[in-house]
Structure 1
C-alpha cells in the first residue's frame, strides 16, 4: 500500500488469529477502472498449496478489449461467506457504477453474494456453461444445438431470436422451457436490461487462471507477489500498446469500424424526416434515428459502435463517425486506463511497516489440502451436468475413440485407404 498509492488490501482472521480471507486491489487498477466498460467478470479457482483454498478473481476489459485485472482474493472455499467477503471488498475498492453488469458461471454461491452485495447490478451468466448443460441433456438425438443456441445468445432483434429458438424447438421442445426457467435476461444480450458489451462468457477470467496456474502452488505471500507481478507486466505491455496507437479508436475497434464501412456502398439511404432515415439493401430495410443513436436492427445501440446502416446515414449527413462511438473504445480511454504505474514492493528489510501491521499475528489456517494428487480440472457448479460420452469406435459409453481399449472386429467395408 505504501509503494502503490491507492491500493486496497484486507486480511481477515478468526478468533484464534488464524488466516481466513485476504484481498488485494492495486491503486493503478482502481484508477483505471472508470475508463473501462462497466462489466465485471468474476470466478474462483482452487489453490494447490499446503492449505488448499480458493483464489477469487475479478476482471474486465479495456478500450482495446484486453483483459484488465481488478482484484484478487483468497479464501477457504467457494461458500457464501467467502464470496460475500470478496465482493464486499471489491465494492469497497471500486464502488458501483451506473448500469453495472456482473458476469459469472451459474454457481449458486456467486449468485447469492451478488444479490446481497450488488443490489443495483445485473447478473449475467456465461453462455458457454449453459450450452454444456444443453448439450448434455438435449443433444442425445444427434442434433447439434451449438449453432442455434449461440445465434440466439447473440441475436440483435426479437425476430432473429425467435427464429433461433424455433430451431432449438425442432431439436427438443423442452429446451425453450429450460432456458425460460434460467431467464432469458441472464444469457441473451437482446433481453439483458443492461449492456454486456458482448461479454457473453467468463473466458477472460479463465485466461487469467491459466496464466497464474503455476502460482497456485505457492504460499500465500509468494502467490500475491506473483499476481502483482502479472498485473504489472500486463500494465507495461498495454501502456506501450496504447502509446503506439495513433487512431481515434483503440486498434481492435478501429478495425471493426473499417470492416463495417466496407458494406456501406451497397446501402441506400432515404430520409423519412429530419432525424429519421430508412436504410435499404437488396433484401431488407432498417430505420435509423441518428439523433437518438437508435437503429431498428439494434446492433448500433448494443455494440455502441456504428453498424453499416448507421455509417450510411452518418456519411449522408457528413457527420463525424467517431462522435457515435462509445467512450470506452477511444484511444484516450485506452491511455488513461494505464496512466498510473505499478511498483514492486522492494526488499522486505527496507519496508517501513506501521506498528499495527508489524505487531499483527496471522497464523496458518485451520485446514489442510486433501491428501492425494490435486485435481487439474476445475470444479463444476451444481447446475453443470456431467456430459454423456459414447465411443465412436466400439459404441460403449464412458470413454471416447481416443482412449478406447476394446477389441473391435474390422469390417472390410469400413476400412479406409490412405
Structure 2
C-alpha cells in the first residue's frame, strides 16, 4: 500500500513544545551543566527524527534549568543556608554576604568565599604573589565574578578565593579586598597583580599599602598603542623584560626620545610596576602579565550563566576535584625539587657552548659570552647570585650560573637541587594541596537560617537591561581580532579581493550625472526665468514696467536692451524681500504667591 501522507521530519511542528524539550533536556543538564542549546537541538533531532526551532529548544532548556536548579529569586534566598552549610562542614572557611536595603526590602549586594584549605595552601605552599581580576556573569544578573589566584611551585594556577560583586567600582573592590585581607592576613612580603582597573588599583593601595603592586603589561601595552605608533615604541617589550636597570634605561631612553608625551602618559596612567628590574627579588616570580586570572576565567567560562548559589557551589566542586588531583600528583613526586624544574634546567645546559666559565673558587667565578666579547658576568653559588640578576628574580639558576655549575660538576659531584629555591620544592607543593575541600549535601539538607527577612536579587540601579537575551560572548577589542582592521573586502561581481562591487573595474569609467540643487532658492528660480514661453507674451518692456513702484536696476537694464532676456540678465537676481517682523508672543505673567 502506497503512503500518501506528508512527512513531518522536515517541518517544524507544534508537537515538540518547550515542555517536551525541557523534559528531554533535564537528563542532559544533569550529565553536563554546560551543555548549550545547539547541542541539545542536534541530539534531539538525531534521536527523535524531528525538526526543532532553536528558540523552542532554548526556552525548553531554560525551563529544565529552572526545574533542576530553581529560580533565580530562590537562588538568592538560599545564600544564607549555603553559608551555614560551608561553615558547618569546613571549619575556618570565610563566607561573607553583604546586603543593601531599598524601600524596606533587603537586596543582595556582594559575596566572598575563601575555603580553609585554600587559605592554608597559599600561606604554606605558594609564593607571596596573588592575581586579582573579575569576569562578567552571563545569567539574568549581570554582575561580576571576582577571583583571587596564586602560583604554586609547578607554576600552576592556585585558587585562593572568589566572590560576586555588582560592578567594578571602588566601593565594591574595597569591600572585596578587605575580605581578602581577613583571609590571608597582611604578609610582610606580598605582590598584588591587577589589570588597568582604577577602582581595584586604589582599593589595593588602601588595604595593602605595603604590598608591591604590579600591572599587567599586556593591558598597558595595548592601551599605549592607542596613542603612540611606530617601531621605536616596540622597545617597551625588551625594557619590560630587562633584569638590569641599565638595560631598562637604555631602551626607555629611545622611547622617550621618540615622543615627549610618553613619559607624562606613563607617569599619569600607568605608574605601577610592569618591568622586571623593579620587581622584588624575594617573590621569585617575574610574571609581567595577569595570565593567572585569565586561566581562572577560562576555567569557569562555560558555567557563568548558572544561578548564584549553583555557580558558587559548582566552583567549589571544581576546586575540590582540582585539589584531589594535584594531591595525588604530589604523592608520586620523589626528591627535593619538583621534577619539571630539574628537567627544565637539564635541558638548558645543552645549549650553553657559547658561555665560557672560569672559577676563582669553588663557589665563585666569571662567565664570558663567546659571541659578545664585552659581556661578562660574575656568579656566586653560595648566595645564589649572578650579575645578570635573573637567578635572584626567578629562584632558578640562569644560563651563566648553569655554565659555571657545569665547570664545578666536572671536578666533583654537584647536586642541582642545591641551587634551586625552596618555592620549587616537593614539600611546598604537597603543603599547598594538603588540605581537603569538604563535600557538601544537597540544598534540601542545608541548615535553615532564619534571618528575619527575605534576601532579594540585586537592585538594578543605574543599569538598563537591553533587549533580547543577555550576551554571553564578550565583545573583543581591536587587538584581539574583534574589528575589521587588516581584513580585505571581496567583490561580489568579479570575485577579486581588495575592492567592493561599487568600485569594481568591470563597472567601466562612466561618470555619474551631476545632480542639481536639492533646495533652490525660493525667491529666485533660474529654470523659470530661462524657460521658453509656450504662448505669446508681452514685450520685455511691458513686463518689466507692469508693476507699480520705483524701477529697479534689473528692470532698467531690461528696458535699455529690448529683445529676449540674455543669460547674464536672467542670472541677476532681484533683491530679497524685506523680512517680516515677528510678532511678540504675549504670555500671561506669573502670579505671585501673595496674589493667590
Same fold per superposition (TM over 0.5): yes
Q: SS state of the match for residue 70, structure 1?
A: strand
Q: Show the 5 A alignment for 1:319-338.
A: 319-338=414-433
Change over 3 Å in CA distance of 1:119–1:166 after alignment to 2: closer
Q: Deviation of residue 349 (structure 1)? A: 3.3
Rounded Cα–Cα distance in structure 2 between residues aligned with 1:49 and 1:135: 34
Q: Deviation of residue 331 (structure 1)? A: 1.5
1:160 is aligned to 247
Contact 1:28 1:341 (C-alpha < 8 Å) held by counterparts: yes
Deviations 1:11-64 (A, max 9, x none): 111244221111101111112102111111001122222232111111011111
* TM-score of the pair, normalised by structure 1: 0.84
Farther off after superposition, 265-274 or 289-298:
265-274
Deviations 1:290-330 (A, max 9, x none): 33322110011011111132234445555543233222111
Rounded Cα–Cα distance in structure 2 between residues aligned with 1:338 and 1:236: 8
Q: Runs of 4+ in structure 1 displaced over 6 angstroms?
A: 386-389, 402-406
Which of 451, 470, 474 is equivalent to 1:377?
A: 474
Q: CA RMSD in A?
A: 3.3
Rounded Cα–Cα distance in structure 1 between residues aligned with 2:346 and 2:246: 28
Q: Is 1:24 matched up with 2:134?
A: no
Q: SS state of the match for residue 138, structure 1?
A: coil
Change over 3 Å in CA distance of 1:21–1:285 after alignment to 2: same
* TM-score of the pair, normalised by structure 2: 0.60
1:416 is aligned to none
Which of 364, 376, 381 is equivalent to 1:290?
A: 381
| Structure whose alpha-carbon radius of gyration is higher | 2
Can you give the 5+ residue segments of structure 1 that lack an aligned partner in the other structure? 395-401, 412-418
Rounded Cα–Cα distance in structure 1 between residues aligned with 2:498 and 2:187: 50
1:45 is aligned to 135
Change over 3 Å in CA distance of 1:319–1:24 after alignment to 2: same
Deviations 1:277-300 (A, max 9, x none): 222231321012333322110011
2:537 is aligned to none
Change over 3 Å in CA distance of 1:172–1:60 after alignment to 2: same
Aligned length: 397
Farther off after superposition, 275-284 or 227-236:
275-284
Can you give the 5+ residue segments of structure 2 that lack an aligned partner in the other structure? 1-86, 490-496, 507-596
Which of 424, 443, 458 is equivalent to 1:365?
A: 458
Rounded Cα–Cα distance in structure 2 between residues aligned with 1:130 and 1:172: 17
Change over 3 Å in CA distance of 1:300–1:361 after alignment to 2: same
Greater relative contact order: 1 or 2 (C-alpha under 8 angstroms, separation 6 or more)? Answer: 1
Rounded Cα–Cα distance in structure 2 between residues aligned with 1:404 and 1:213: 38
Farther off after superposition, 77-86 or 4-13:
4-13
Rounded Cα–Cα distance in structure 2 between residues aligned with 1:200 and 1:407: 48
Rounded Cα–Cα distance in structure 1 between residues aligned with 2:233 and 2:500: 30
1:345 is aligned to 440
Change over 3 Å in CA distance of 1:196–1:88 after alignment to 2: farther
Rounded Cα–Cα distance in structure 2 between residues aligned with 1:245 and 1:205: 27
